[in-house]
């Protein structure tokens, strides 16, 4: 009798162990599905365009054009005598003058029979050859080059980009330039956004460096809806993504219900079997004590 009870207790304990393992697996699966649902919900929320933006996004083509124009202005925008001065002080002129001075000094020293003209000519040659370099080093340390560094800077805020586009009509007429101008109008709230967007060609379905999500925001602000092909294509893509996420979420929800139900059943079964195993062990312990 006691042997049969012991065998039953061992078998019941083994089944209880398997049910416990299954319950843990089902619990882990339930948690995994819950996390997946949360991720899909967040993804679906951020899949669409934002409601607004507060900073300007400039395509790389416009940035490069601004850098090139700024570099050109730094070279050509100084005094009209800068290039002449550079030639005189930094070109071959100092070397030629120093050579002439030394030649004249040697000739005079030979004719007069004294070294005084040669010494004077040597001092003059030294001043002509090394003077401009010394002056350049002094002015460089004193910050005389700050103007050139400032001249090659690129516009940063909307007002500066608006002025730059006005001075560069060729770049302003490109799709990237219109995109920047539209952002300037949107951030400035000056009422010009609708006019700028009206010049945007509706046939354009994609422009390098242009964020379609920002275009949607601006068109909704100006026209209460997305109108350009680029914006409507982006919205269609967003809707397709949301539809796929909704379908995946529905499937995950069904899996969650099934896993949750199975987890509850196995938890209940585990508790019941655990109680029976404990009772059998207590009975066997009491029989052993009586023996």
Q: 4: pLDDT confidence band, cut at 50, 70 and 90? A: low
**pLDDT-derived band at 186, boundaries 50, 70, 90:** very high
Please write the tens of the pLDDT for every residue from 237-290: 888 888 888 888 888 888 889 888 888 888 888 888 878 777 777 777 777 777
What distance in Å separates the CA atoms of residue 183 and residue 185, rounded to the nearest whole number?
5
pTM of the model: 0.53
> Residue 110: is it exposed, middle or buried by C-beta count within 10 angstroms (0-12/13-18/19+)?
exposed
User: How far from 68 is each of 81, 151, 154, 160, CA to CA, in Å?
Assistant: 23, 11, 9, 16
Instruction: Say how far apart CA 249 and CA 242 lie, in whole Å.
Output: 10
The pLDDT of residue 151 is: 43
Phi, psi (degrees; rounded to nearest 5) at 148: -65, -40
């Amino acid at each position: 009798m006691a042997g049969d009870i012991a065998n039953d207790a061992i078998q019941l304990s083994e089944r209880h162990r398997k049910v416990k393992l299954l319950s843990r697996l089902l619990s882990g699966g339930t948690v995994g599905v819950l996390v997946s649902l949360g991720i899909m919900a967040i993804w679906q929320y951020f899949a669409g365009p934002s409601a607004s933006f507060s900073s300007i996004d400039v395509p790389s083509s416009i940035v490069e054009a601004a850098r090139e124009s700024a570099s050109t202005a730094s070279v050509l925008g100084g005094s009209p005598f800068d290039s002449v001065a550079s030639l005189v002080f930094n070109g071959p002129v100092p070397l030629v003058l120093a050579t002439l001075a030394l030649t004249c000094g040697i000739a005079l020293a030979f004719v007069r029979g004294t070294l005084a003209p040669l010494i004077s000519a040597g001092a003059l040659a030294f001043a002509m050859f090394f003077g401009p370099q010394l002056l350049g080093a002094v002015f460089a340390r004193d910050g005389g080059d700050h103007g050139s560094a400032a001249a090659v800077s690129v516009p940063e805020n909307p007002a500066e980009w608006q002025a730059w586009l006005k001075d560069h009509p060729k770049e302003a007429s490109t799709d990237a330039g219109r995109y920047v101008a539209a952002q300037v109008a949107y951030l400035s709230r000056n009422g010009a956004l609708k006019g700028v967007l009206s010049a945007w060609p509706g046939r354009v379905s994609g422009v390098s460096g242009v964020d379609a999500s920002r275009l949607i925001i601006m068109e909704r602000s100006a026209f209460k809806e997305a109108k350009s092909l680029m914006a409507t294509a982006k919205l269609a893509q967003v809707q397709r993504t949301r539809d796929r996420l909704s379908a995946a979420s529905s499937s995950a929800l069904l899996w969650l219900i099934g896993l949750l139900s199975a987890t509850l059943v196995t938890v209940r079964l585990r508790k019941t079997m655990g109680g029976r195993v404990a009772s059998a062990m207590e009975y066997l312990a009491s029989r052993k004590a009586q023996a």
